[in-house]
Amino acid sequence: MADEKVVLCGANSYEKKYYFNKEFSKVPESIQEELHIICVLFTEEVGGIFTIAFDKDGEMLFETTASDEDYLYDDISAGLLINKIRNTKQELLQSLQLYYRVLYLHENVEEILAQAEKQEE
């Protein structure tokens, strides 16, 4: 698992399905619902397949792909929507990233917060 990404959730506009990784079942229901809404609205607006994952260092990844036959999918719109999600849901995403780094990567929460404070300066 250390060399791979871990998918938190995702949605597929082709199959009209949503996925939430059961390993994160302890995340509060309200946050799970918010992630569900983010993913489904993304695929409804842009199309394709959208996933939120963590890389081996605990950084949050937003990935979107589309089939070659999907002429309605737009890479530019997908990028703009990802940036909008990052900006409007910044606190939620930072909290999820902290959750992952502490509980799954077993990093020290004080060290993570100290690093974040240094980056803000």
Mean pLDDT over residues 11-39, rounded? 96
Query: pLDDT tier at 114 (50, 70, 90 boundaries)?
Result: confident
| Angle, vertex CA 13, rays to CA 5 and CA 29, nearest 5 | 60
Determine the Cα–Cα distance for residues 68 and 115; give it in Å rounded to an integer: 41
> Coil, strand, or helix at residue 40?
helix
Residues 61-107 pLDDT 10s: 999 999 999 888 989 999 999 999 999 999 999 999 999 999 999 89
Mean pLDDT over residues 8-32, rounded? 96
| pLDDT over threshold 70, residue 44 | yes
- Positions of E strands within 6-117: 6-12, 17-20, 49-54, 60-65
Determine the Cα–Cα distance for residues 71 and 20; give it in Å rounded to an integer: 27
Residues 3-16 pLDDT 10s: 689 999 999 999 99
Mean pLDDT over residues 50-62, rounded? 95
pLDDT at residue 115 in the model:
78
- Neighbouring CB atoms inside 10 A of 78's CB total 22
pLDDT at residue 48 in the model:
94
Least confident of 18-32, 33-47, 105-119: 105-119
- Check: CB of residue 99 under 8 Å from CB of residue 27: yes
Determine the Cα–Cα distance for residues 60 and 96; give it in Å rounded to an integer: 9
